[in-house]
Structure 1
């Protein structure tokens, strides 16, 4: 029997259902954190601050190099003949629009609205240290502000979330390995990763990281939408309203994740994308499309020409820890479970299709979105200094979105649209990550719908409890993802080498050995990979 077959047999032998050790350790860690934040918020906050500072100081540059290397390897892999290899022996389950919509909406979450409005303004008012000679408020500052935002939300973020790790996950899954974070260690441990204690630790660490990164946005969403409702309709900005927002979000996410990927998750993602496109069009029409186009071209030009330097900048450790390293640590924490989700929805896609549709096109679309929302905010600030910066400095992220919408015609309609979009973005992330977390906690091919719903409700409840003690608990939990990113960064490391090797093997199995396209019969996704694998297993047996 081959090692792959033994791994599959071991997985089955463990029985169908929840992995009690992983589930208990993951949920228990969240509950302990929440309890600690309630009983001793100052102590917990201090511990997280120390952990955050040390993690950024000791591992920040490693994360920057890892993410840059991941993007470089993925891009090089995409242009090789091997990239025509197909991942999985089935036809793609989802059409391109549905597929890309689920990928984009899962990553952007609330950052797709609030950070898109606020971050460019922060950099516009205070130029990043790498561009300390740039005069604040100048035309050059506009391009620098957008370029710095692109560094944090662009190619590197998308590549670490959707390229090499997803390839490793899909390749191993076709050989009997489970869709769980531990499978990222398959290149090192082989089928032993299924039962290894190291695999259990990897699962728990990765789940805790993504739970921290998801509960944070849920909690902030309650605070931000409550602020927006207060500024728009005069509804009191109190805990009851914040709790109601979180309850609605959790209910939407739970219903979506219970209905599954084929129904609720993909439907919610499509609604998200169409609403985002409608709002982007509205902002361009009501604002200045020409200004946004110039800002995007200028910002993207700075981003591309200084791509490596900005990605690896570490000259000002304090600034880098608060911006680049924070975002990179956040995305690293999401990466293993994003790989699970992408592997689940991407079977039948070619390697090239996967890389381009996760690491090239979505980042460009993200940069354009940041230019539309953040660029419009900068334009309004230039026309009337203090119009956007004043509310941003006084009330934080949600104030920037409301201020931008207020500066445009039809402000009430646009503001309401952004609040709805933010709720849907976070709901899409919550349901997708609840699905991936539940999958990581089960020994079956597909997680039970009740387990998915439990995780959605658990994260919503944790967020509701944490905001009851103020935003300090949510901030501490969101910062904690940077601490958990330390081990996750090493779990992702094998993918740098393993993904190209696996793609090369798939190309050979499917008859793709050169630049010329092979005869279709040699790359039939329903025969070639499966037949080759069965022949190999038969010979080894």
Structure 2
């Protein structure tokens, strides 16, 4: 790595670390003021620019579709004679694995049930409200998510593996900025990517730890206090930080394998015992409804307050995660053509998410009807208990409940490990092998930020983290729009 890259990496590191320190300090010293400020920022962005979040993701969708179907789809993410690093089966497996995150585990039952009880249009508790709820969940976790990730992944893969530029978000702007990507503009882009990634992961860490704490309370009666949640976060932080620092690739692969097999096992189990016919009917109807209304629901703002709380929030959250998920799918796709990359990275994980949501959501609605509203009551009382209450209405609860805790831990551990590595890479000038010291630093920072905020403000303080993530996602969304133009400009110079 050149001295220029090292200097850039150090400046990005210092500024990013400083921002994190200031944010944590204000959250501890002035928690109520920080929460009020965060809420004001969130309200301003979603009220005045909510339309832009939806429109931007729709533009990403058009851009990715055009690139995949054009002559540029034949271009490789690598040199012309470069072969894929992984077999097709291995590649598919890793892309499938990328579709299973902590958000899927947390919201797969809680969200459809929430929309069923408080739909944006239909009457609550009606069959129409149920169908709308499932279509909305498909919209929130489906193709749009992976379109966002594919834009970043395409940029990182193309400029890193084909053009030989550092693995930094700023490298995607070389066709526009030239060598200025190494200056203040490039550094600002990378700092925003770091900030968005850090707080996006911290939000998920808080949600995951909260669900684990609630699950432990529900299963074994141990009270889920903020202190207990902080201890869980600390343990999870130690696990993924040690794995990143020590380079225990086999250990992390084992964690990934456990996550995949547990996820498949839960899907099969819930499908078999949660009402197969009902689930299949729900999946078929929802998929057709989703496809038929794809464009309309992509841009729907018929209920502004509801749209701000759900689709707009999700778009912002996924944009905050785009940097490091994009790096993951780019990393495993080296040697693939752009067309292969786009079609596989968008439709394979989306398809898996549709199956997951149909099984979990369909079973929840079926069991809710059979139990006279038990799942609804659980979601109203504590949204984090939705998964455990659903499992309680299925056989073998004494086994599946602890396994659900393990699924949540493994789902987060893989994502946090990847995020720690990407944060280290972004703050070391794009070094593909960042120092263990730097990896350890970012692992500890992610955990410490979440713990301190929860200890001061309780689990409700996760809202502050979510707001910070959305705030960081707004400028990064604008960066991604320009990124699309930059990618297209670079592709026009290719001889295809």
Taking structure 2 as the reference length, what is the TM-score of the superposition? 0.93
Q: What residue number does 1:406 align with?
A: 392
Q: Cα deviation per residue 1:96-142 (whole Å; 9 max; x = unaligned)?
A: 454445445556432111111111111112222xxx2x343333332
2:479 matches 1:491: yes
Q: For residues 187 and 165 of structure 1, do their structure 2 counterparts lie closer, same or farther at Cα, with a shift above 3 Å needed?
A: farther
Aligned equivalent of 1:140, options 123, 128, 140: 128
CA RMSD of aligned residues (A): 2.1
* Distance in 2, Cα, partners of 1:239 & 1:482: 24
CA drift at 1:478: 1.3
Cα deviation, residue 354, structure 1: 1.0
Is 1:420 the counterpart of 2:410? The answer is: no
Correspondence for 2:85 among 84, 93, 110: 93
Query: d(CA) in 2 for partners of 1:117 and 1:197?
Result: 45
CA contact (8 A) 2:202 2:449 kept: yes
Change in 2 beyond 3 A, CA 1:211/1:290: same
Q: C-alpha separation between the residues in 2 aligned to 1:198 and 1:479?
A: 25
Q: Any idea what SS the aligned residue of 2:101 has?
A: helix
| 1:430 alignment partner, SS class | helix
Provide the residue aligned with 1:72 in structure 2.
62
Matched ranges for 1:346-425 at <5 A: 346-396=333-383, 398-425=384-411
Is there any run of 5+ residues in structure 1 with no aligned partner, and where? 1-10, 514-541
Native 8 Å contact 1:155 1:359 kept in 2: yes
1:80-479 correspondence runs (5 A): 80-89=70-79, 90-106=82-98, 108-128=100-120, 132=121, 134-161=122-149, 163-173=150-160, 174-193=162-181, 195-260=182-247, 263-396=250-383, 398-443=384-429, 444-469=431-456, 470-479=458-467
Task: Write the distance in 2 (CA, Å) between the matches of 1:71 and 1:264.
Answer: 36
Alpha-carbon distance in 2 for matches of 1:171, 1:220: 33
Tell me the alpha carbon deviations over residues 242-278 of structure 1, each in whole angstroms, 9 at most, x when there is no partner: 2332223112212332355954554433331121001
Cα distance in 1 between the residues matched to 2:212 and 2:417: 19
**Separation (CA, whole Å) in 2 of partners of 1:107 and 1:243:** 27
Pick closer, same or farther for the CA change 1:15–1:309 going to 2, 3 Å.
closer
- Alpha-carbon distance in 1 for matches of 2:94, 2:440: 19
Give distance in 2, aligned partners of 1:479 and 1:103.
29
CA–CA distance in structure 1, aligned partners of residues 56 and 38 of structure 2: 24
Moved more, 213-222 or 229-238: 229-238
Partners in 1 of 2:235 and 2:341 — Cα distance?
33
Q: Provide the C-alpha distance between the structure 2 equivalents of 1:385 and 1:183, rounded to a whole number of angstroms.
A: 56
1:223–1:102 distance in 2 versus 1, CA, 3 Å: same
The structure-2 alpha-carbon separation of the partners of 1:503 and 1:379, relative to structure 1 and needing over 3 Å to count, comes to farther
Asked if the contact 2:176–2:486 (Cα under 8 Å) also holds between the matched residues in 1, the reply is no
Q: Secondary structure at the match of 2:177?
A: helix
Summarize deviations over 1:469-507 as a string: whole Å, max 9, x none. 20232210112111111110111012333434544655x
Q: How many residues align?
A: 491
Q: Which residue of 2 aligns with 1:519?
A: none
- Contact kept? 2:5, 2:428, Cα under 8 Å: no
Q: Identify unmatched segments of 5+ residues in structure 2.
A: none
Matches of 1:188 and 1:265 in 2, distance apart? Answer: 38
Q: CA deviation at 1:280?
A: 0.5
1:343 to partner: Cα distance: 2.5
Matched, 1:12 2:30: no
> Quick check: 1:209–1:334 contact (8 Å CA) kept in 2?
yes
Mark the structure with the bigger radius of gyration. Answer: 1
3-state SS in 2 of match to 1:494: helix
Please name the residue that 2:24 is paired with. Answer: 34
Distance 1:138 1:305 in 2: 21
CA distance in 1, matches of 2:323, 2:189: 10
1:98, 1:34 → 2: CA distance? Answer: 40
Deviations 1:134-164 (A, max 9, x none): 3433333322111101111111111111x23
Of 169-178 and 427-436, more deviation after overlay is shown by 169-178
| CA shift for structure 1 position 371 | 1.1
User: CA 1:98 to 1:39, structure 2 compared with 1: closer, same or farther past 3 Å?
Assistant: farther
Does structure 2 retain, via aligned residues, the 8 Å contact 1:124–1:137?
yes
- Residue 240 of structure 2 contacts residue 417 of structure 2 at CA under 8 Å; is this kept in 1? yes
Distance 2:349 2:488 in 1: 22
